[in-house]
Amino acid sequence: MSTETTLRVSEIFHSIQGESSLAGWPCAFVRLAGCGHGCRYCDTAYAKEAGTVMTVEQIVRRALAFDAPCIEVTGGEPLLQPGAFELLSELCDRHPVVLLETGGFLPVERVDPRVHAIIDIKAPSSGVAAENCATNFALALDTPERFEFKIVVASREDYEWAKSYIAGHGLPGKCSIIFGPVFGHLEPRLLAEWILRDRLPVRMQLQLHKYIWQPDARGV
């Protein structure tokens, strides 16, 4: 594997992990550039710009320099760049906790098994629910400790869809599942009450960083 492989990078930053089961931990983020998806609620449209070309070695050194308990590769859609797989493996060689945030429409089987992958399942309000890649569920049910599934909901309809979607794929009780509100669209209290009323075996998340800094701030 060559660490001279290049990738297009949107930003590399140090923040408090705002999402997933590791929310709250200081984290180094590598946001790769580019995304072919078009989730209606996307809060990171800027990552679709070209970005800066960097080698795997340069990216890894920048991320390690934050000396954070975890490193997350996100985007844009990180798995769209072939070099992302090498980047993830190189990070795993040099750091014990490597996370991947991926949009759930690409297969994750080529991702280094040492990576903890947070796979987003897109609900109908995203406009791209038809592109959810169901092959990822079989892999996750096989090795559940490697994965988390996240569903961001904007409405009661999204919530009902999410409830039956996870049940239909046999995920509850087997895989870690997180529901979160589309920021500013669904009142967190409503989602909390729906989960409690249904006794749903899912975690609830808020995007912590949007309560610490300006919700539309970059680099946090």
Ligand X SMILES: Nc1nc2[nH]cc(C(=O)O)c2c(=O)[nH]1
Ligand Y SMILES: C[S@@+](CC[C@H](N)C(=O)[O-])C[C@H]1O[C@@H](n2cnc3c(N)ncnc32)[C@H](O)[C@@H]1O
Residue 81 CA to residue 66 CA, distance in Å, equals: 24
In the Cβ-directed half-sphere of 12, how many Cα atoms lie within 13 Å?
A: 18
Using the CB atoms, write b or e for 141-161: b if 16+ within 10 Å: eeeeebbbbbbbbbbeebbeb
Residues between 16 and 45 with contacts to ligand SF4, criterion CB under 6 A: 35, 37-39, 42, 44
Q: Judged by CB under 6 A, does residue 48 bind ligand X?
A: no
The answer to whether 76 and 33 are in contact (CB under 8 A) is: yes
Query: According to CB under 6 A, which one of 72, 90, 101, 148 is a site residue for ligand Y?
Result: 101
Query: According to CB under 6 A, which one of 3, 14, 16, 66 is a site residue for ligand X?
Result: 16
Q: Judged by CB under 6 A, does residue 160 bind ligand Y?
A: no
Q: Judged by CB under 6 A, does residue 86 bind ligand Y?
A: no
Instruction: Dig out the tokens for 100 from the structure.
Output: 């991947």
Q: Which stretch binds ligand SF4 (CB under 6 A): 2-10, 75-83, 171-179, 207-215?
A: 75-83
218: nearest Cα among 25, 81, 20, 33: 33
Residue 205 CA to residue 19 CA, distance in Å, equals: 7
Choose between 170 and 219: whose C-beta lies nearer to ligand SF4.
219
Q: Which stretch binds ligand Y (CB under 6 A): 40-48, 54-62, 91-99, 167-175?
A: 40-48
Q: How far is the CB of 217 from ligand X (least distance, A)?
A: 9
Query: According to CB under 6 A, which one of 3, 6, 21, 44 is a site residue for ligand X?
Result: 44
Q: Per the annotation, where are the binding residues for Mg(2+)?
A: 44
